[in-house]
Amino acid sequence: MNKNKITLYFAAGILLLAVTLILSLLLGSTDISIAKALSALADGNTDDGNLRIFLYVRIPRITAAVFAGVALSVSGVLIQAVLANPMASPNIIGVNAGAGFAVILASSLLPNMLAFIPLAAFLGAVITCLLIFVIAKKTCSGRMTIILVGIAVTSILNAAISAVKTVFPNSVYNFTTFSVGGLGAVNISVLRIAVPVIVFFLLLVLFLSKDMDILCLGEETAFGLGMRVSLYRFIFLISASALAGCAVSFAGLLGFVGLVVPHIARRFVGTGHRLLVPLSAILGAEFVLLSDLFCRIIFRPYEIPVGILLSFVGGIFFIFLILMQRKGKHYD
């Protein structure tokens, strides 16, 4: 692949992300002046309205949008690679729902232990992901079957979420936003734990990008090249679950980011994971951040949860993918 083109794609992605970051800082239900906020910060005037919105609303929200986008899109890349299924993603095979169920359960049973939320999300995501993988392996399921199993598992977990919510109606603040995914009420304590975990697994996945390439050649070929296939599959599934679980712990059940973004990134840099993982991370951050900005300003001063827009765009994209598969075009 042409190196200049790759440099251009990455530069464009980073530039676009930087512009969206600045716009996200400035725009929202209330316009703020960054100059005034910085001036208040220099003066130590912590009661200044601009500074308070800047520090306690915009920066946590932007951080959450960026890291939710990074985590879900890289998780999507991993799940698609391990299941060898371009239609798989954390929300479609039920990993997000597993994490969401664990978050609701932990919030209900341990309401004063917020630090436990990311761990619960991780465990919920891991158990669901391994369950889907074992079903896929044991039944030698085709690609569509995995999707159908994922839909069934998601349905069961959503019912479980509703059941827990019925028994513990006050367990999660703003449950509606959590269930569709939103960044309006991000818990900073949860974010402080989730962000380092996302960074760790992102670096791990980048370090193992060559191994992901080998895994994508097929199980028998990877085995013939000396790869310990089961071990690497396990590492990648744990990483995918940790990333998706962390995103769910602070952003709720955001859908379709892990499906849409890897496909777009592949159009630019192909299937080699050394480039696909970082570009997916950049585009994922951009996708969620831009969508959130749109949701904040489209009906100002009101806002809609970003998950609604993402599900709308992602749902259309998913139908497009199925139609392409039916026509025999491999859009991936």
In the numeric block, which tokens belong to residue 110?
């341990």
Taking CB under 8 A as the binding criterion, the range among 50-58, 221-229, 236-244, 246-254 that sits at the site for other proteins is 221-229
CA Rg, the chain, in Å? 20
Contact 245, 75 (CB under 8 A): no
Which lies closer to other proteins via its Cβ, residue 47 or residue 220?
Answer: 220
Site membership for other proteins, residue 271 (CB under 8 A):
yes
CA distance 130 to 323: 28
List, in order, residues 6 or more apart from 156 with CB less than 8 Å away: none
Which lies closer to other proteins via its Cβ, residue 28 or residue 86?
Answer: 86
CA distance 103 to 111: 10
List, in order, residues 6 or more apart from 214 with CB less than 8 Å away: 221, 222, 225, 227
Site membership for other proteins, residue 272 (CB under 8 A):
yes
Site membership for other proteins, residue 83 (CB under 8 A):
no
Number of shown-chain residues binding other proteins (CB under 8 A)? 23
Site membership for other proteins, residue 5 (CB under 8 A):
no
State the nearest-atom distance from the C-beta of 205 to other proteins, in Å: 13
- Residue from 221, 312, 320, 331 that binds other proteins (CB under 8 A)? 221
Which residue is it, tokens 């912590």? 46
The most distant pair of C-alpha atoms in the chain lies apart, rounded to whole Å, by 65
Site membership for other proteins, residue 127 (CB under 8 A):
no
Site membership for other proteins, residue 228 (CB under 8 A):
yes
Name the residue type at position 130: L
State the nearest-atom distance from the C-beta of 148 to other proteins, in Å: 21
Which lies closer to other proteins via its Cβ, residue 39 or residue 271?
Answer: 271
Which lies closer to other proteins via its Cβ, residue 214 or residue 290?
Answer: 214
Q: Helices 188-207 & 116-139, crossing angle to 10 degrees?
A: 40
CA distance 322 to 283: 22
Which lies closer to other proteins via its Cβ, residue 222 or residue 288?
Answer: 222
Footprint (CB under 8 A) of other proteins, residues 161-220: 210-211, 213-214, 216-218, 220
Name the residue type at position 8: L
Which lies closer to other proteins via its Cβ, residue 63 or residue 271?
Answer: 271
Site membership for other proteins, residue 224 (CB under 8 A):
yes
- Residue from 270, 320, 322, 329 that binds other proteins (CB under 8 A)? 270
Taking CB under 8 A as the binding criterion, the range among 69-77, 116-124, 161-169, 222-230 that sits at the site for other proteins is 222-230
- Residue from 227, 264, 297, 308 that binds other proteins (CB under 8 A)? 227
CA distance 279 to 286: 10
Helix ranges restricted to H, 44-83: 49-53, 59-82
Footprint (CB under 8 A) of other proteins, residues 297-316: none
CA distance 83 to 75: 12
Which lies closer to other proteins via its Cβ, residue 228 or residue 300?
Answer: 228
- The DSSP code for 295 is H
- Residue from 138, 326, 327, 330 that binds other proteins (CB under 8 A)? 330
CA distance 36 to 113: 36
Tell me how crowded residue 5 is: count the other CB atoms within 10 A of its CB.
Answer: 11
Site membership for other proteins, residue 226 (CB under 8 A):
yes
Which residues make up the interface to other proteins (CB under 8 A)? 1-2, 84, 210-211, 213-214, 216-218, 220-221, 223-228, 266, 270-272, 330
